[in-house]
Amino acid sequence: MPVQPLGAEALCLHTDPARLGFRSTDDVPDIDSAMGQDRAIAAIEFGVGIRREGYNLYVAGPTGIGRRTLVDHLLARHAGERGEPSDWCYVNNFDDPSRPRALELPAGRGVQLKRDMEKLIERMLVTVPNVFRGDEYRRRITDIQEEYQDREAKLFSELNDAARGKGMVVIRTPGGYTIGPVRDGKLMTPAQFNELSREDQDQAKGVIDELNHRLKSIIESIHGWQEESVERVKAVDDEFIHDIIDPMMAALKSRYQVYPAVLAFLDAAHQDMAENVWDFLPNEPQEGNVPLRKKIFAAEHLRYHVNVLVDHDGECCVPVLYEDNPTLQNVLGRVEHIAQMGTLLTNFSLIKPGALHRANGGYLVLDARKVLLNSFVWDALKRAIRSREIRIESVERILGMVSTTSLEPEPIPLDLKIVLVGDRYLYHLLKHYDPEFGLYFKVVADFADAIDRSPEATGLYARIIATLARREKARALSAGGVARVIDRSARSAEDAAKLSLHIGDLVDLVVQSDFWAGREGSALIEARHVDQAVAQHLFRNNRYQELLAEQIHRGVMLLATDGAEVGQINGLSVIQLGDYSFGRPSRITATARLGSGKLVDIERETDLGGPLHSKGVMILGSLLARRYAQSQPLALSASIVFEQSYGRVDGDSASMAELVALLSAIAGIPIRQDLAMTGSVNQLGEMQAIGGVNDKIEGFFDVCAARGLTGTQGVVIPRSNVQHLMLKPEVVEAARAGKFHVHAVGSVDEALELFTGLPAGAPREDGGFEAGSVNERVRERLHELAELGRRHAGNDHQGAEAKP
């Protein structure tokens, strides 16, 4: 029975607006769940709910399908169930400033501790100068100083009295003390002393030695008193210091008595302040005019400050964070440096948080592709998961190129779920090539691309459209507009029985349709506005498609749409340019001659054919041998090529067209040029489904329409692809008017009958086919070639024997 063209109703499954049950989306309620993503939702709920190591998530699916939106929604819902997050701070390590200490505090207490320490410094800056320059402190110190000055004066007075009684005098000089005899109340000069008799000189020297000995004893006593004085002054200082600091610290410690780490920091700060209290006194008189707030942040006081790394003040649930730029520093944090006199310096206050710090206790969402594109991030992320701590690392330290003083902050314990968002291909690459990936990301949430186009699903899809229109602040859609959007979704899914779940494309279509409705001044988005949005989108992207069509129309690229030729057929392929694709018809030719059974794929021989295309050509050789040469050699040499193809060819969707062209070349039977064909073939001669069927049909239709439809032109597709047809209205109307046809076939025999107008021929018991059929003519020709091959082989053998 001849293959009949498909009816117009089979070429596009339209949604009936009347069956939607509403006038516009104003009458349709919002939908608060992700339609068709039950599997992904269950996986995310499981991954979030299980509190075990390694159960982080990988969310797989194409970009724009709504992964982030759904993940954010589900994580935000679970965030409230995990309680309040913690604040994290870094403070100075007074024992080793290069290793700052980390403090964990309840939400809001980190900032409070920072303010308390600033107030403490402020009070110290005010109190210390007032106390140590006050009358009480000065009186106490003066009393000590005067006491020892009186002692010293008394001893020297006694020494002077003893010296005068013996005719001597004690004089204080810049270099110390001088003792010598006197005459007439004045110190003798050396000349006068020399005038004395030897006896008087010896007596004077004896007295001087005695007084020197006594002077030495006095000086030793004075040194002892000075040390004693210093200790007494220090004791007074300590008394005043503790009177100042102890009450302040006691009040501060009472607020944080339940936090041992904070108390340890306050104890260390307490001791350091006591030892360095003079840092709170202005060094120069003009410093008294410096604003107090500025003094608080002076370099000598920074060691008492608190660096609040993460502040969750006012937050009632754990964080849900998405890091858009996951560099090493943005993920792990960093230690900044400041330039001072040509040297880079740093301290704990220059430690900055990363995404792991900010999301700690909650959930961190990362784009898998961006993580892998940023150097060192993937390995650093795995180290953090493995060690369950956040250790700040710089690229310089990782590479061993550190040349400046840096810090080694105390690691912070890590407790969070990491959610990687990426496509399926990347997931499987990581699963295959990284043995640690499966240990740390044990849960995959795979987003569905499409759902079945049932009446219930259509109703839910209408609610999605209504929800998106309101979210994007677009006009409401009429029932006709919704129906057209649903039809377009089926076309995007490349299946009349499916609806695409690509929310990004759906939003774009609604927004663009709203634009054209606004341009027209319409209150609702109607079907015509959706059609215009689709048409304008195609117009913005189809420049290359039009250039190819122009080349065909001008005869630069050879393509026949009428008549019949031997060994020549119109094949169909799809060109993908980003998110835009279109069908391109191409001429396929085949030649056949006597040979050794080799089927030459010219595309492969020139390295332009991909492995799938080569596989399809190899299947043709197997099919020829099985079908026509089971009892004889396949004495054939054939070649197949896509004419005027200058790029890479891959896929097996043209293998049925290649087979028909090859059989035509073998049998010498012309085949119709007003038909094009797409579909793959297996070794049994069965037609198999292919992708891009709508683009391919429309590609050939556009060429035929440009040249003028004759009523005989059409496309042959696999019968299994009929369910995928969602053709544009022009094709449907041409088919309804009988000007263009779409034929669905299931085998090579049906295709042969369509293209040749001859019966394909059923097989006979003797291995032949019906007389006059295409298959019989192919078999006969192959038999002739086999006989020719044997004769040539015999002649060659006889010639070899006759050679002397």
What's the rounded Cα separation, in Å, for the pair 711 and 378? Answer: 61
Return the number of other C-beta atoms located less than 10 Å from residue 555's C-beta: 8
Q: Which of 478, 500, 653, 680 is catalytic?
A: 653
State the number of CA atoms in the 13 A half-sphere of 568 facing the CB.
Answer: 16
What's the rounded Cα separation, in Å, for the pair 230 and 247? Answer: 26
Residue with tokens 């308390």: 116
Which of 633, 648, 538, 631 has the alpha carbon at shortest distance from 582? 538
DSSP run (H or E) holding 383: helix 377-387
- Here the tokens at position 580 are 């835009």
Residue with tokens 């900044």: 336
Which of 10, 8, 7 has the alpha carbon at shortest distance from 496? 10
Assign residue 424 a region (left: φ > 0; alpha: ψ between -120 and 50; beta: otherwise): alpha
Handedness of CA 29, 30, 34, 38 (dihedral sign): negative
What's the rounded Cα separation, in Å, for the pair 780 and 667? Answer: 8
- Here the tokens at position 716 are 């042959």
* Radius of gyration of the chain measured on its C-alpha atoms: 48
Structural contact between residues 123 and 246, judged by C-beta atoms closer than 8 angstroms: no
Handedness of CA 495, 496, 497, 500 (dihedral sign): positive
Q: Which of 114, 417, 498, 696 is catalytic?
A: 696
State the number of CA atoms in the 13 A half-sphere of 591 facing the CB.
Answer: 11
Which of 719, 742, 713 has the alpha carbon at shortest distance from 656? 719
Which of 719, 739, 633 has the alpha carbon at shortest distance from 677? 719
Structural contact between residues 491 and 535, judged by C-beta atoms closer than 8 angstroms: no
Which of 620, 667, 619, 641 has the alpha carbon at shortest distance from 785? 667
What's the rounded Cα separation, in Å, for the pair 702 and 197? Answer: 144
Which of 501, 496, 688, 676 has the alpha carbon at shortest distance from 573? 676
Residue 712 neighbours by CB under 8 Å, 6+ apart: 562, 672, 674, 741
Q: Could you confirm whether 696 is annotated as catalytic?
A: yes
Residue with tokens 């400033």: 97
- Here the tokens at position 500 are 């695409």
Cross-strand pairs, 106: 86
Tell me whether residue 343 is exposed, middle or buried, using C-beta atoms within 10 angstroms of its C-beta: 0 to 12, 13 to 18, 19 or more.
Answer: exposed
Structural contact between residues 481 and 530, judged by C-beta atoms closer than 8 angstroms: yes
Structural contact between residues 17 and 480, judged by C-beta atoms closer than 8 angstroms: yes
What's the rounded Cα separation, in Å, for the pair 400 and 121? Answer: 39
What's the rounded Cα separation, in Å, for the pair 90 and 93? Answer: 9
- Here the tokens at position 218 are 């006095």
Structural contact between residues 604 and 565, judged by C-beta atoms closer than 8 angstroms: no
Structural contact between residues 89 and 74, judged by C-beta atoms closer than 8 angstroms: no
Q: Could you confirm whether 86 is annotated as catalytic?
A: no
For residue 641, what are the CA distances in angstroms to 111, 570, 662?
74, 12, 11
Tell me whether residue 782 is exposed, middle or buried, using C-beta atoms within 10 angstroms of its C-beta: 0 to 12, 13 to 18, 19 or more.
Answer: buried
Please identify every residue annotated as catalytic.
653, 696
